[in-house]
């Protein structure tokens, strides 16, 4: 599990990676995933992060695997700090894990850090051996009355 940087809402904001030079961690366990207070914590809304060039390694062959990740969440008191998320996702580049493990781990790490009202992640993996593997994970149900758009990642026909 990635290291996390958690602050109570009443504590001053520590910018961690934000605004500082940083190097890409070589493994997800070395990554620091950070959160920041949600300035609209009383509102119900959806935030989306899209990572169309996610990369990890096949744990069997060592060859690269590519995915288009879509992460949607309804935040509570916390948001994911985006620079730390970019570095966290980039840390999978040399990490060997199956598609299911990468996708679910990312969802669980983010949910554990920010405690959202709802989160879903879609991992749309490009084919290896002619078969795309798409992996989906979510926490609970979308709050009533909340609109979450479709993830709109094409079924495989070149994914684009």
Q: How far is it, in rounded angstroms, from Cα 142 to Cα 98?
A: 27
26 given a catalytic annotation? no
Q: Are 105 and 28 in contact (CB under 8 A)?
A: yes
101 given a catalytic annotation? no
First to last CA, the chain: 32
Q: Choose the catalytic residue: 65, 72, 102, 109.
A: 65
Q: Choose the catalytic residue: 26, 29, 58, 72.
A: 58
Name the residues annotated as catalytic: 58, 65
């Amino acid at each position: 599990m990635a290291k996390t940087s958690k602050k109570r809402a009443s504590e001053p904001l520590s910018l961690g990676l934000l605004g500082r030079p940083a190097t890409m961690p070589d493994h997800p366990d070395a990554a620091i995933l950070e959160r920041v207070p949600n300035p609209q914590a009383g509102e119900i809304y959806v935030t989306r992060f899209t990572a169309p060039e996610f990369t990890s390694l096949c744990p069997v062959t060592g060859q690269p695997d590519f995915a288009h990740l879509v992460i949607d969440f309804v935040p509570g008191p916390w948001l994911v700090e985006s620079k730390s998320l970019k570095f966290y996702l980039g840390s999978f580049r040399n990490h060997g894990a199956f598609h299911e493990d990468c996708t679910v781990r990312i969802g669980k790490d983010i949910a554990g850090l920010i405690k959202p009202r709802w989160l879903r992640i879609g991992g749309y993996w490009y084919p290896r051996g002619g078969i795309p593997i798409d992996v989906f994970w979510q926490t609970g149900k979308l709050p009533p009355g909340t609109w979450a758009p479709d993830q709109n990642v094409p079924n495989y026909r070149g994914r684009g």
